[in-house]
Structure 1
Amino acid sequence: MVNSIAAPTGTRLESLDFIRGCALFGILIMNIVGMGMGPAYDNPRVMGGDTGINLWTWFVVNVTFEGTQRALFSILFGAGVILFTSRPDSTDAYFRRNLWLIAFGLFNAWILLWGGDILYFYGLTALFLFAFRNLPGKKLLGLGIASFVLGAAWSGLDTYNMLDLHKRAVAAESIPAAQRSEQQKGAIEQWTNESRGGPSPERVVKLKEENQAGYISALRVRAPRIAEAQSWYAYRNFFDIFGMMMIGMALFKLGVLTLEARTRTYLAMMVGGYAIGMPLNLFEANWLMSHGFSGLARHQTAITYDFARLAQTTGHLGLLGLFLKSGMLSWFRTAMAAVGRMALTNYLTHSAVALIIFVFLGYWGTLERHQLYYIVFAIWAAQIVISPIWLKHFHFGPVEWLWRYLTYGKQPPFRREAPASGARPLPAG
């Protein structure tokens, strides 16, 4: 996501900044649901509406963006690892930099109360990437795909276990209640809780009250989830994040992320990725809707989820590469690149705005699903206008400046003496 933020402004790659900016906006599309209505992320029946425009909102977002934006973030972060470590004497700075990123993640989760923070995961995972930085692109790509497949296999095992639990629960229900063993009763109870596809209506009411009752109340109710995310989930999702970062390192070395690949490469990525990913995503979304967003349906769609996500991400990268090579809409490319250059500041701003709206102003769980995207569009509009203006007057975003200061232990220049573009122009054609 942000590993190239510390690059000298005269040597930046606008292609990386642009894709990072797009991924930043895309991940807000996904995060806003978790920020504003928590457990409704996977199931629109929990709250926020599951008919009409609200259902269509869930459908379009789920088919188009689900799982792909964090994948793009991870890929861009991996590319940043190569950029950063290519400088002389970067070893100490690299580890300090990522340890501070972990600290930013702790701040985002525990102070800004965003339980879906990814900075902590990225800083932690990056510590393991350093040893692979000098491998050639093709080896990095192979290792990255292998790591991703390993993570997908772990998810597959979880899915198998849940489907087996359903099978055992159904079998136990066919036995008269008086004759059921404790194990059979446990399977029925466990599956009953799992099959809801979300918390009970009574729990939803309680969650609304707790999240709307002020900062301390919201912190108290979110703390267990945050603690679990930054402990167990950090290990559980390691192979997924590590694999995507390795793929990003590979794509940078192979010239894909720097627009050095041929146009037909991006075309093949787009067509091939969407040809696999889009039908699978459509199938998964329709399966969930036709089965009432049940727990069983969710676990069934998990069978294809990871590979659909990888294919769809490939399609997105191909599309973005084709757009960049076309040279179209230079003003938009420049503006989005500025958003990407300030990715850490802008990402944390998302959490701060969500904290204000959903906790301090008490809107958690009160908006319909489609209304959440009015907030998303407003944030997009503000950041796509403010980011280029800010970077005309300053070398870095404010949090990027702080991160650089903490990394190197000395104060970097902040204000520009004269406006500058600060990005290497994209190659034409």
Structure 2
Amino acid sequence: MTTAPVGRITERERIAQLDVLRGLAILLILFMNVPYMGDVVTEDYLPQRLSWTAFDQAWWWVNRLLDGTQRGLLELLFGAGVLIMARTAMTPDGPVAVADLHIRRNLWLAAFGIANGVILFWEGDILLSYGCAALLIFPFRTLRVRQLLIIGIAMSVALWSHNLVDYIERVDLAERAAATATTPAQSADRAAAQRDLDKYTREVRVPDPAVAAMQIAGNKGSWTDFAVYRVMSWAYVQFTGVGIFWENVVEAFAAMLIGMALFKTGIIQGKASRRTYWWLLGLGYGIGWGLRIDATIDAMRFSGEPYIGLFTHSLARLPIVMDHIGAVALLLQSRTGARLLAPFQATGRLPLTTYLGASLVAMLVFGPLGGQFAQHGYGTLATGAALFMALQLAGANLWLRNFANGPVEWLWKSLGYNRRQPFRRGDPLIGAEATS
């Protein structure tokens, strides 16, 4: 009797809620990324640079409210996916083959992330950091729910603490700038503090002209100039000047632990009670959205003055992610909601193709071929992203009528299993693997 490869799940074993959550998140992440793909990138993207109409502002409100939540949802799902793939190795002495599969899958995922940066030229790639974080997560699969939550939440709060430090430093600057000066030393200190506050204000209102000129030239030159600039920019953003790789590894690792805990309780799969999901909605709306709305109101002033949203914007991320889980679970429990969300299962089953496909199109549109870099206000960029997301959603559903896997998913699974995997429906060993 022939058995399926280790770690493989059948079509019947797929979990609709995981696919829907992943499908929504992988689509919406383009909405979050498009301003950084199509315009000058600053430490805190400046949406009012080219235009600031009511249309731009409305879209930017949505962006700020959802900021980081789609990424967070993907990280939770990744943690749940690790447990799905490791379900036959849930003891410390479980099969070595499962660990081998886990390592191969995530090494290849990291390789896809590098390709996203140096071939598709998306400097904000997350696959590299996710693959690296996942390589570290496997030994934690046997921890209890409470242990996973304590470690995951503690790491998340510690990661966000630098935002609190920033807020405290700005409060100190504001107090020093407003202090009464009675000596020359106090006057000098007051002037220095005001200069620092003014510097913060300039940074959130107008990008450095030299930096903006460099980015526009790099994105609008020849293909060779574009490629060289983009690869250097990817290295700068990921590892040196910005260093999002290091922060994302910690963030993803912490969220994966929480995702494991939610999977073990059945919450993320939709197995919990309706009351639980209503509580999650309350957590998201009562805490998460409240903190985000307050932070966004203050941020829309584009001022260097201190406001607590510098810290609470990040703090609100996890409650809003919980809100997403609760909302999807409750919708899927109703007939109308299930029909409404059903199409998103397709993009949830083609996450890599959807994500890398967006990078490819962005390269063509905003690179030398399309020439659209730094040409549009945020409202136009967001609308274009929404239209492309609709095309991706329709395309994914059409694709899965005839194919068992997306092209990138097929390649990833084949490399991970060290053998060719099903591509078309009806191929041997049919049964799509649950991607994390």
Q: Tell me the CA shift for residue 98 of structure 1.
A: 0.6
Query: Partner of 2:36 in structure 1?
Result: 34
Q: Tell me the CA shift for residue 195 of structure 1.
A: 3.3
Q: Any residues of structure 2 matched to 1:83-162 within 5 Å, and which? A: 83-87=84-88, 89-161=97-169
Amino acid at match of 1:21: G
Amino acid at match of 2:252: I
**Deviation by residue 1:315-364 (Cα, 9 ceiling, x = unmatched):** 12211111112232544433211110000110000100111111121101
In the alignment, is the contact (CA less than 8 A) between 2:331 and 2:338 conserved in 1?
no
CA RMSD of aligned residues (A): 3.2
**Pair 1:372 & 2:389 matched:** no
d(CA) in 1 for partners of 2:70, 2:182: 44
**Pair 1:195 & 2:201 matched:** yes
Q: Tell me the CA shift for residue 166 of structure 1.
A: 6.4
**Pair 1:78 & 2:87 matched:** no
Normalised by the length of structure 1, the TM-score is 0.86
In the alignment, is the contact (CA less than 8 A) between 1:151 and 1:237 conserved in 2?
no
Query: Partner of 2:217 in structure 1?
Result: 209
**Pair 1:287 & 2:298 matched:** yes
d(CA) in 2 for partners of 1:172, 1:392: 72
**Pair 1:251 & 2:258 matched:** no
- Count of paired positions: 413
CA change 1:124–1:158 in 2 (3 A) is farther
Q: Tell me the CA shift for residue 300 of structure 1.
A: 4.5
Residue 258 of structure 1 aligns to a residue whose secondary structure is: coil
**Pair 1:334 & 2:342 matched:** yes
Residue 108 of structure 2 aligns to a residue whose secondary structure is: helix
Query: Partner of 2:64 in structure 1?
Result: 62
d(CA) in 1 for partners of 2:182, 2:256: 48
CA change 1:173–1:288 in 2 (3 A) is farther
Normalised by the length of structure 2, the TM-score is 0.85
- Which segment is superposed worse, 326-335 or 53-62? 326-335
Q: Any residues of structure 2 matched to 1:322-361 within 5 Å, and which? A: 322-359=330-367, 360-361=369-370
Residue 84 of structure 2 aligns to a residue whose secondary structure is: helix
Residue 423 of structure 2 aligns to a residue whose secondary structure is: coil
In the alignment, is the contact (CA less than 8 A) between 1:34 and 1:41 conserved in 2?
no
CA change 1:325–1:355 in 2 (3 A) is same
- Which segment is superposed worse, 211-220 or 187-196? 187-196
Amino acid at match of 1:385: A
In the alignment, is the contact (CA less than 8 A) between 1:37 and 1:48 conserved in 2?
no
In the alignment, is the contact (CA less than 8 A) between 1:100 and 1:403 conserved in 2?
yes
Residue ranges of structure 1 left out of the alignment (5+ in a row): 425-429
In the alignment, is the contact (CA less than 8 A) between 1:281 and 1:308 conserved in 2?
yes
Amino acid at match of 2:260: M
In the alignment, is the contact (CA less than 8 A) between 2:292 and 2:316 conserved in 1?
yes
d(CA) in 1 for partners of 2:170, 2:226: 31
In the alignment, is the contact (CA less than 8 A) between 1:11 and 1:423 conserved in 2?
no
d(CA) in 2 for partners of 1:265, 1:122: 29
**Deviation by residue 1:77-127 (Cα, 9 ceiling, x = unmatched):** 111111111135311010111111111111111211111111011001111
Aligned-residue sequence identity (percent) comes to: 35
Q: Tell me the CA shift for residue 8 of structure 1.
A: 4.0
In the alignment, is the contact (CA less than 8 A) between 1:346 and 1:383 conserved in 2?
yes
2:404 to 395, 406, 421: 395
2:21 to 8, 19, 22: 19
**Deviation by residue 1:31-72 (Cα, 9 ceiling, x = unmatched):** 111111142684445524223211122123212x11211111
In the alignment, is the contact (CA less than 8 A) between 2:48 and 2:377 conserved in 1?
no
Amino acid at match of 2:366: F
d(CA) in 2 for partners of 1:422, 1:347: 22
d(CA) in 1 for partners of 2:200, 2:414: 47
Residue 385 of structure 2 aligns to a residue whose secondary structure is: helix
d(CA) in 1 for partners of 2:333, 2:71: 23
Amino acid at match of 1:258: Q
Residue 39 of structure 1 aligns to a residue whose secondary structure is: coil
**Pair 1:408 & 2:414 matched:** no
- Which segment is superposed worse, 35-44 or 343-352? 35-44
- Which segment is superposed worse, 232-241 or 132-141? 232-241
